[in-house]
Structure 1
């Protein structure tokens, strides 16, 4: 079992997905640092707006546009992702969002890529399959 004293990072949260892909009975996985930011962005983008009754503006409306034609969906999806990540109360304040890319994969799945950076200036990406 993980003790709080074992966590060395200021920014951490419980991991939504176990690291090895298999949930363990007594294993408490956490994500720290950059992994914490990647997970936070996936939570923000993957949560339908209005589904958290205590934070009705948390999340995004990305799922509204999944059945739209790609050329019509792209501006809406990008706008929703930028608005959700940059929200003044419920967004991700630790990053500066640079751009959001939206594409459709060969198998028909939607793919979203958010490019962002921290104060260190290194550009990073978080990907989300819709």
Structure 2
């Protein structure tokens, strides 16, 4: 088991697998911490966090939108949620690929305090 006193990072959180289940004894730190925070922000439905009801994305409201415009609404919702809930990153681009019931969201971002202009892409699959 990992002791909290042995963790050398300021920003860290418990590691989660892509489905959101905790991986016991492991942590996410540095860039992995930010990528996991992006993933959690996108997959958290609005009004599901009692003490912070505005946290997350309200993607379910776009379930019945036509496929040719759904990606525009999803990209705008994700960009708004990330700028509000994840202040440690700068979002460069939000790409959305739509299949019938699955939306693949690619967020290109960089940390706000990064010295170089290097962007990282995090992919999140959302199923309606």
So what's the TM-score if we normalise by structure 2? 0.84
Deviation at 1:72, TM superposition (A): 1.8
Deviation at 1:59, TM superposition (A): 0.4
Q: 2:78 aligns with which of 78, 81, 85?
A: 81
Deviation at 1:4, TM superposition (A): 1.3
Structure number with the higher strand fraction is: 2
Corresponding position: 1:122 with 2:115? no
Number of residue pairs aligned between Structure 1 and Structure 2: 121
Q: 2:47 aligns with which of 47, 50, 60?
A: 50
So what's the TM-score if we normalise by structure 1? 0.83
- Contact 2:16–2:22 (8 Å) recurs in 1: no
The list of structure 1 runs, each at least 4 consecutive aligned residues, that deviate by more than 6 angstroms after superposition, is none
Partner SS, residue 122 of structure 1: coil
The equivalent residue for 2:92 is: 98
Partner SS, residue 105 of structure 2: strand
Deviation at 1:104, TM superposition (A): 2.1
**Structure 1 unpaired stretches of 5+:** none
**Structure 2 unpaired stretches of 5+:** none
What's the C-alpha RMSD, in Å, of the aligned pairs?
Answer: 2.1
Q: Which moved more, 1:96-105 or 1:40-49?
A: 96-105
Q: How far, CA to CA, are the matches of 1:28 and 1:14 in structure 2?
A: 8
Alignment CA distance shift 1:70-1:95 (3 Å): same
